[in-house]
Amino acid sequence: MFGIGCTMSLEDFQRKETQSSKSLCVGVFLQTMINPLAGFVLAILLDMEKHEALAMLTIASGPTAAYAGVLTFWGRGNIALSVCIATLSTALSIGMMPMWFYFYSSTWSQEFFIAAYPVDIALYMLLIIGPAALGMSFRRCLPRVAKQLARICSPVFLVSVVACSVLFLVFHRDNFKVEWQMYMSCFLLSFIGFFLGFLMAISLRMPYDVCIAISLAVGSSNGPLAITVALHSFDEAPEQFVMDVLSLPTIYALFAPIEGILWSLVYKTIDEMFMKGHPAVCGTEEEA
């Protein structure tokens, strides 16, 4: 997020597309209202076991991950809007995660209840706002250096995603010995978010960079936060049950960024081939 901050300025947050209540509300609505429903439907359609379904609901009810800003940068979307969606959805998750989990989990069990602790939410908000604000300040003072740092941080993120995935696969193989439904659910949850985000944004005739930001934000749920919430919420359950619950968010946290990278590259390719500098080919967005 520091590298992303090096590409932004306060003027980016003052743009009409970023300030518009429509673009922000669409992104937050999809993330906090539609994603939990998508997770619930996937759990039913894939005939998940209790621990798998509860894990899916924990992920799906979570907020946008911080790395959505990096994906938006690669896809040439509206980075400031992506940061706003991630920040607001994270703040709302303190109530949204327990509410949607309680609402949907009764299909499998009424034994468990999750809680998003304020300290955890504050920490994840700090991880979004802090580095981004620091990068923006750095750009203001040393714009040329900030530009170079942004170019360095971007591939570093890619290398870290690949390296973490490989190392975790090597040292924690047991976490990945699960049914195919688990992998399919991780892929489909992100896919639905990416697809619906872009579809709704383009249907509302928003600019292309806004469509990208909303799509990549909605498809990038916060896997690490889901793991943190699960650890706190299921700590009194049998150890094997806790391990089973943690398998799905672990798989999601590792592979969702990779799927997001592919989507961002597709958006970037479309931009280079057809858009030529982000004209509002999706339409124009009026101030809501």
Distance separating alpha carbons of residues 21 and 31, to the nearest angstrom = 15
Q: Following DSSP, what letter does each residue of the chain receive, concatenated?
A: -HHHHTT--HHHHTSHHHH-HHHHHHHHHIIIIIHHHHHHHHHHHTT--HHHHHHHHHHHTS-B-TTHHHHHHHHT--HHHHHHHHHHHHHHHHHHHHHHHHHHHTTT-SS------HHHHHHHHHHHHHHHHHHHHHHHH-HHHHHHHHHHHHHHHHHHHHHHHHHHHHH-GGGG---HHHHHHHHHHHHHHHHHHHHHHHHTT--HHHHHHHHHHHT-B-HHHHHHHHHHHTTTS-HHHHHHHHHHHHHHHHHHHHHHHHHHHHHHHHIIIIISS---TT------
Q: What is the pLDDT of residue 168?
A: 62
Determine the average pLDDT of the residues in 69-90: 90
pLDDT for residue 286: 43
Whole-number average pLDDT of the chain? 82
Average pLDDT on 78-90 reads 91
Residue 161: its pLDDT value, please?
63
Residue 283 pLDDT greater than 60, yes or no: no
- 71/158 Cα distance (integer angstroms): 10
In terms of pLDDT, which residue wins out, 72 or 19? Answer: 72
pLDDT given at position 40: 95
C-alpha distances (whole Å) from 125 to each of 54, 88, 204, 211 are 24, 9, 29, 23
Summarised one tens digit per residue, pLDDT across range 103-140 is: 999 889 888 888 888 888 998 888 888 887 887 787 77
Cβ burial 174-183 (10 Å sphere, 16+ → b, else e)? ebeeeeebbe
Could you tell me which residues come within 8 angstroms of residue 175 by beta carbon, excluding any fewer than 6 positions away? 168, 246, 247, 250, 251
Average of pLDDT values for 247-263?
A: 88
pLDDT at position 288 is 36
Confidence at residue 1, expressed as pLDDT on a 0 to 100 scale: 67
CB 194 within 8 Å of CB 62 = no
Q: What percent of the chain has pLDDT over 90?
A: 33
Give pLDDT, residue 148.
Answer: 72
Burial 112-148 (b: 16+ CB within 10 A, else e): bebebeeebbeebbebbbebbbebbebbeeeeeebee
Mean pLDDT of the 15-43 span? 85
User: Which residues make beta-bridge pairs with 64?
Assistant: 221
Least confident of 49-58, 256-265, 274-283: 274-283
Confidence of residue 30 (pLDDT cuts 50, 70, 90): very high
Residue 225 has pLDDT above 80, yes or no: yes
More confident residue, 88 or 180: 88
Q: What is the pLDDT of residue 142?
A: 76
> How high is the pLDDT of residue 17?
56
Q: Which two tokens stand for residue 34?
A: 């539609």
In this structure, of 6-20, 27-41, 91-105, 148-162, the range with the lowest mean pLDDT score is 6-20
pLDDT digits (tens, 9 = 90+) for 144-179: 776 777 677 667 766 776 676 666 666 666 666 777
Longest Cα–Cα distance of the chain, Å, equals 56
pLDDT at position 20 is 62
Quick one: pLDDT band at residue 259, thresholds 50, 70, 90? Answer: very high
